[in-house]
Chains A and B, each alone.
Chain A
Amino acid sequence: MSSSLRVERAGPLCTVQDGGRPGLLAHGISASGPMDIDAHRLAGALAGACDKTGIELTRAGLDLLMESGDLTVGWAGGAFEVQLNGERRPWPGSASIAAGDRLCITPGAAGNYGYLRFGKKLDLPMVLGSRATSTRARLGGLEGRALRAGDVLNFSEEGGTVQSVCSPDPPEAGPVRFVWGIHADRFAADIRRKFVETPFRVTNAMDRMGVRLADEGGVFAGSSILSLISDPILPGDIQILGDGTPIVLMRDHQPTGGYPRIGTIVSADLGRFAQIRSGEAVVFAPVSVNHAHQLMRSGKP
C-alpha cells in the first residue's frame, strides 16, 4: 500500500539525505550525505528502514502529517523533542503512524541535526546514484532544495523489520580528534601548539557546507599564509582563511580549495562535531591516521 506524508512546517535546511554520492569529486561534486552518519544509521535501525533515504532536520524541527497509508518512522540524532498527536515520545525512538497522525519535532536540549528514517521506501528520483540533497549543487532530494511546508513525500514498498537497538552511549564530550592537515607544515610550530591547546567557539555561521569557528584565543591572529594552489577537499578539513578565521568544511563542501588546511577531523568524530551547537567550545586533539582507523573500527574512543 502506498503512503504519503505532508510537510506542515520545516525548519531551514531540512533536507533528504541518504548515504550520499561519493566518487564524483573529479566532476566537481562533493558527496553530501548525513552530517551525523551514526545518528542517521540509528534512526534507520529504529525504523526497520529498507534503504538509506531519510530526512535530516535542523534545530528548528519539523511537523509532519500522515495523509494516507501507514508507516514506521524512526528518529535519532542530538536530543530533540518529539510528539505524536500531542503526546510526547522518547528520543531516539520509533512509532508506527497511520493516516491522520501528526508528528511534531521541536528543538531539544542538544544537537543541530536529527534524522527521520522510514520503514517504506521514499519515492524520489535517484540523481547521480543518490537521493541526497546537495543544496550547493542543486541535486537530489526534492528538486535539489530543502524541504518546505506543503511538500508531500510518497512512499512505496514494504521495508525491513524494526531492529531492537541498544540505547546508544551519550556522545563523549572530549576533544574533537583530527589528523594534521596537508598544510600543517606551513604553520609555525608555536601556532600548531596553540591550535591544540586553545578552545575555539562554534559560531552560528554553520550549514551543510561548513562551520565557522571563533578564534577567541587568537591562535591564528597575525599569521598570514597566502592562498595556495587549490587541492581537493574532503569533509572535516579545517581551513584557515586569510583573516585567520577557521572553517571546518562539511558534507556539502566545495570540491577544491586554496586556503591552508591545518588539520582534518577524523571520520569517527565528524558527526559529533556537526552536533556541537553555536556558542559551545571545541578543543582539537591530534591523532595519527592509524589511531583514527582504530576509532573507526571500534566506534569507541
Chain B
Amino acid sequence: MIVLLVLLSLLPVLAAFALSRRRRFTVIVGMGLFSLILSAVYLLLHAPDVAVTEVAINAALITFIYIIAIRKTGKLVVVSDEIPGLLYREGQQISGLEKEILSGFARQLGLELVIRFLPVEQVPTALQQGEADIGAGGIISEIDDNTVLKTQGYLPTALYHLSKQTKPHPKQEQSTVTGFFSDLREEFQAGKISACTLDLARFVALSRSDLSPYTVRRLDGLFSYVFLVAPAQEQLHHQFVSYLSELEESGELDKLTRRYFS
C-alpha cells in the first residue's frame, strides 16, 4: 500500500518534470520513466496484463519512435561566413564567440548545431528560403533588411573605412563586403581592393597583414553585432532574444567575450 502511494505520488512529479524540461530528449526520457512507474502501479493494482502492455508499448516502443521523430527536427541550422574571433574553423573544429553562444542556445533547446558556411550576402536569402534558422558571422546592427528577423546587439563594434586615396571618397563609403571573407583577405593582400568598409572583427583580422597603403577612418555612430533569424521562425527569434539577454545578465557573455577578444 505504501509502495503504491509512493509510486502514485511520483506520477504527477514525473509528469511535471517532463512538461517543464526544455530539452526534448529529457522530455522523452521523463515520459518513458512515467510509463515505467505507471506500469508498476498497474502491477500493484493486480492488472499484470495491462502492465506488460504498458511497458512494451509506452516505455520501449513509443520512447524509441519519439527519439527518431526528434532526430530530424532536432537540428539548428546556422549559416555564416567565417570570421576570425567570431566563428572560424580551427583544424577539424569550429570555434569563436558566436559559436559558443549558438552552441549554448542549441544545447538549451536540445537541438544539434549545424553550421554551414556561406558568403555574407547570401545569408539573408538562405534564411528567407527556410534553408537555415539563424544567420551569423559578424552581422552589423545597421543592416537594413526587413525581410529577416534581427536579435538585439550582443557585442558593440565599430566600422572602419579603408581606402587607398588620401581623401575619403563619399560615394565609396557604402561599399560593403561581399563574398567569403577568406577571399577578401587574399584580395587585400594582393592589393586589389581600393576601398572597403569593415567591422571590427574583420578589420582586426586584416590588420595582421600590411595595411600601410590604406588610410583608415573610423565611422561615426554606435554599431553592434547581431544575429539574424529566419522570418518564419518567430518563436525561435523570441527564444533567442531572451537567451541572449539571459546570457548578458548573468555575465556569461562578458566572460566569453574576454576569452576571444582579450
> Do A and B come together as binding partners?
no
Q: Which residues of A contact B (CB under 8 A)?
A: none
